[in-house]
């Protein structure tokens, strides 16, 4: 799905890592929440409260999920899941456009 309908968009951006990662929260009429954002090249660690599905719209990243010893390469059109109350390391190889769904 390339567009969302019947959503509310927060005007204020979520800004992380000195502006290298930004997102905007969108809320669907059924209460479902997603964020749409951009990550600049670099290395970051994120913590999760809810389980997440990260979809890479364009770009290239490598991820290391908490408890794993193996980095995974994720490219345009691919996605990965992160457990609730967890964390992951991410190396952004080039500017990356993403959609995060909270499960």
Distance CA 11, CA 27 (A): 12
Short-list 4, 43, 9, CA closest to 23: 9
**Count of domains observed in the chain:** 1
Span 67-87, pLDDT tens digits: 999 999 999 999 999 999 999
**Would 17 be classed as within a structural domain?**
yes
pLDDT given at position 2: 75
CATH at residue 87: 2.60.120.10
- With contact defined as beta carbons under 8 Å apart, do 103 and 74 qualify? no
**Would 78 be classed as within a structural domain?**
yes
- With contact defined as beta carbons under 8 Å apart, do 56 and 75 qualify? yes
**Would 2 be classed as within a structural domain?**
no
Q: pTM here? A: 0.90
């Amino acid at each position: 799905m390339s567009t969302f309908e019947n959503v509310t968009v927060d005007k204020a951006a979520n800004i992380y890592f000195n502006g290298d990662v930004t997102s905007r929260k969108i809320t669907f009429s059924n209460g479902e929440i997603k964020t749409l954002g951009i990550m600049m090249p670099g290395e970051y660690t994120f913590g999760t409260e809810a389980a997440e599905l990260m979809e890479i719209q364009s770009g290239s990243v490598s991820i290391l999920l908490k408890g794993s010893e193996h980095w995974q390469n994720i490219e345009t059109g691919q996605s990965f899941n992160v457990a609730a109350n967890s964390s992951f390391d991410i190396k952004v190889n080039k500017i990356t456009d993403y959609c995060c769904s909270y499960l």
